[in-house]
Amino acid sequence: EAQVTQNPRYLITVTGKKLTVTCSQNMNHEYMSWYRQDPGLGLRQIYYSMNVEVTDKGDVPEGYKVSRKEKRNFPLILESPSPNQTSLYFCASNDRQMRPGELFFGEGSRLTVL
Amino acid sequence: GNSVTQMEGPVTLSEEAFLTINCTYTATGYPSLFWYVQYPGEGLQLLLKATKADDKGSNKGFEATYRKETTSFHLEKGSVQVSDSAVYFCALSSFQKLVFGTGTRLLVSP
């Protein structure tokens, strides 16, 4: 089954404690991206990756890091989380050549930073 | 910059009522337009899309027409069901990303 898998789905942590949200896709997609969803703001792009070892900032990259060492994985790293990073996070992937703009989303990771 | 504006929700309807969710956009060039749906506890799923002016996207009884002259892409359905209750997002394609509206929650009661 084609899917994007995120872990953890739910996490409560404290300010400053480094954490990683993993994302994996099994569709051999080159493009992957992270979004955060906040009430009244919709979804905003954090980072994206066009391919292995190619990443770039989205609209709200501050406080986040990413890496793309393998095609299937695109982890989101919060080096020193702060309360304003409390949000619902979505990973997405896309076959840009065949279906531009058609993102496949994971189920989301709800993060609370105390 | 590119942006999408959606009507505020929630939209509350009775089963079999007609649905319209308004979406307008601001963009340079001619982006592709999308509607995504988010069911409770799930990620977003593509509902329909249109890639050029006057295109009509359709899926599961939902329709939306790409109107360049009014920069709109309103979502419609002739007869909603309880199972359509969800949050609907309008989006446009921009450089290396989708730009989303804020979402409109639809609540359908029996």
- A58/B44 Cβ within 8 A: no
- Contact (CB<8Å) B43/A4: yes
Residue-level pLDDT, tens digit, chain B, 110 residues: 889 999 888 999 999 999 999 999 999 888 999 999 999 888 899 999 999 999 999 999 999 999 999 999 999 999 999 999 999 999 998 877 889 999 999 999 99
A66 vs A73: CA distance, rounded Å:
10
Residue to test with chain A: of B44, B87, B90, most A Cβ within 10 A? B44
Q: Which residues pair with B100 in a beta bridge?
A: B91
Q: What pLDDT digit, counting tens, does each position of A30-86 carry?
A: 999 999 999 888 899 999 999 999 999 999 999 999 999 999 999 999 999 999 999
φ and ψ at B82, to 5 degrees?
A: -55, -35
Q: Quick check: A2 and A105 in contact, CB under 8 A?
A: no
In chain B, whose CA is at the least distance from the CA of A39? B102
A24 touches B: beta carbon within 8 Å: no
Nearest to A112 by CA among A87, A90, A79, A77: A87
Residue of B nearest to A50 (CA): B96
